[in-house]
Structure formats: structure tokens, C-alpha cells
């Protein structure tokens, strides 16, 4: 999904159509696979080598608030073809 980010100062004033905007990757934290011994040494979940796995917007929903949980519960209660 292509979004506008507040640090996109260079394009915020021009406001191009999102179809014409280049996309950015953002971390959603769905899952991380790391070697525990290396994690203990580096103390950071992001370590080389790493690889991105692209997920759709419904798999990238963050549940950080009660409102976020309500949205996910609503989606799960419906029979959507996602």
C-alpha cells in the first residue's frame, strides 16, 4: 500500500497522486526469525543477513490499542475474501 509519510516533506507540498508515488517498505513486526545466540550477542532483532517478506495490508494490521483490537475482531467476524 502506498501512503504519505510525514517525513516526505519534499512531496507533501506537491501532493502527487498516490499511483505516481514511489512506494516505501515499513516494518509491521508480524514475525521475526533470528538465531537466539546471535540475538543475545547483538541485542537487536535486526541483524545481517536479513530479508524482507512482503505481506498484504490485512496481514499487517497492528493491534496496539483497544480500537485496533476492535477492528481486527470485526474483520475476523465477517466472511471476507482478503
User: pLDDT digit string (tens) for 1-47?
Assistant: 556 666 766 666 677 677 777 777 777 777 778 888 998 998 888 88
Domains in the chain: how many in total?
A: 1
CA Rg, the chain, in Å? 17
Model pLDDT for residues 40-81, shown as the tens digit of each residue: 998 888 888 888 888 887 777 878 899 989 988 888 887 655
Is residue 15 a part of any domain in this protein?
A: yes
Is residue 1 a part of any domain in this protein?
A: no
Distance CA 8, CA 5 (A): 5
Cell reading at 77: 467476524
Domain carrying residue 51: 9-77
0.75 exceeded by pTM: no
Instruction: Reduce the DSSP state of residue 60 to 3 states and report it.
Output: coil
Q: Reply yes or no on whether the pLDDT at 82 is more than 70.
A: no
Position 78 scores a pLDDT of 77
Amino acid at each position: 500500500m502506498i501512503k504519505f509519510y510525514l517525513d516526505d516533506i519534499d512531496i507533501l507540498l506537491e501532493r502527487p497522486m498516490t499511483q505516481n508515488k514511489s512506494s516505501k517498505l515499513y516494518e509491521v513486526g508480524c514475525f521475526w526469525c533470528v538465531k537466539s545466540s546471535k540475538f543475545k550477542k547483538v541485542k537487536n532483532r535486526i541483524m545481517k543477513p536479513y530479508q524482507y517478506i512482503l505481506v498484504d495490508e490485512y496481514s499487517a494490521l497492528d493491534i496496539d490499542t483497544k480500537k485496533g483490537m476492535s477492528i481486527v475482531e470485526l474483520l475476523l467476524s465477517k466472511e471476507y475474501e482478503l
